[in-house]
Amino acid sequence: MEEITVSAKTLDDAITEALVQLGVTSDQLDYDVIEKGSAGFFGIGMKQAVIKARRKVTKQEVEEPVIDFSDAVKGVKDSSIENSYKENRHVKDNRVNRENKDTRENRKKKDKYNKDRNRNRQRKEARPEVKQEVKPEVSPVSVKEEIEEKVERIEKTTKPISEHKEVELAKVEDVTIKACEEFLNNVLKAMGMDVTLTSVIDEEGALNIEMNGENMGILIGKRGQTLDSLQYLTNRVANKMQSGYVRVKLDTEDYRRRRKETLENLAKNIAHKVRKTRRAVSLEPMNPYERRIIHSALQGEKNITTHSEGEEPYRRVVVTLVRR
């Protein structure tokens, strides 16, 4: 019985190679696993799979009659023995021819597979490498904070609307107020809220819009985040209507004033704590508007200084003691 030893990267590859070498199908193969093989760690310590393979003995082969040729050598010619010998010889020749044909076909398939794999590999290596630009993830909150800081710089360098010659107050009242109120009414209607809007232009030229209705806490949100978002969007709508800059302030239930008083009281208490413990205190992350309130509240405090640190949206105010 022919037995071969085959080794390959994986056990499946070794079995495939044994099928090709023996020229049999998978149901006609019998093998013993000598080594299962392992991929190792990044190719280090890799072991190949090793098997001992042989062709299964079919029932027909086991039951083939054993012909004694001694009588033929001695000149005994039995017609039945000769016929049996010729028939068995013919079967064996047909089986060998069929096995050789299967082996040639398997080798052709394997050669074609290897050629196709090498051709694809060469095409892939010849193809220019395209580096995909990985765009950093941008948080909507960080974008909002960045825009608010830009708006803050614009406010410091831009004169109030009343001082712009090209923008008339009547134009602001007729176009900008109407556009802002229409935008807010559409948003609030989509939220299922019935809100009354009151728009007033103050002495500095800013457009103040007061919102009144039921369940206004929904519009305020956690620490005023929802209100700030609506205010930002309304500012965008207002400044599309004219060339001059218009600042829009949204408020409801006197939230802006109450929040400012809360932050100012917090700043005073933190300053007292810093003087007592002589240790710096870092506040919770705040938006630029609330950080400005903290800085302004502690600007005149003796032996106290403030600064901001961190990246948006986690930028926060740090209150420290001035050591002398």
For 22-76, what is each residue's pLDDT tens digit? 888 878 888 888 887 776 666 666 788 888 888 887 655 545 455 454 554 444 4
Burial pattern 232-243, b for ≥16 Cβ within 10 A else e, equals ebbbebbbebbe
Tokens 């600042």 locate to 247
Residue numbers of the chain with a pLDDT score lower than 50: 62, 64, 67, 69, 72-77, 130-138, 140, 155-156, 158-170
Residue-level pLDDT at 46:
74
DSSP lists the bridge partners of residue 307 as: 318
Residue-level pLDDT at 242:
67
Query: Which residue type occupies 10?
Result: T
The dihedral over CA atoms of 127, 128, 132, 133, expressed in degrees to the nearest 10, equals -170
Show the domains of the chain with their CATH numbers. Answer: 3-119 (3.30.30.80), 140-253 (3.30.300.20), 257-321 (3.30.1370.50)
DSSP lists the bridge partners of residue 250 as: 209
Residue-level pLDDT at 296:
92
CA angle 256, 262, 263 (to 5 degrees): 90
Residue-level pLDDT at 279:
93
Long-range contacts: 265-273, Cβ < 8 Å, 24+?
A: 266/294, 267/293, 267/294, 267/297, 267/298, 267/319, 268/297, 268/298, 270/298, 270/319, 271/298, 271/301, 271/304, 271/319
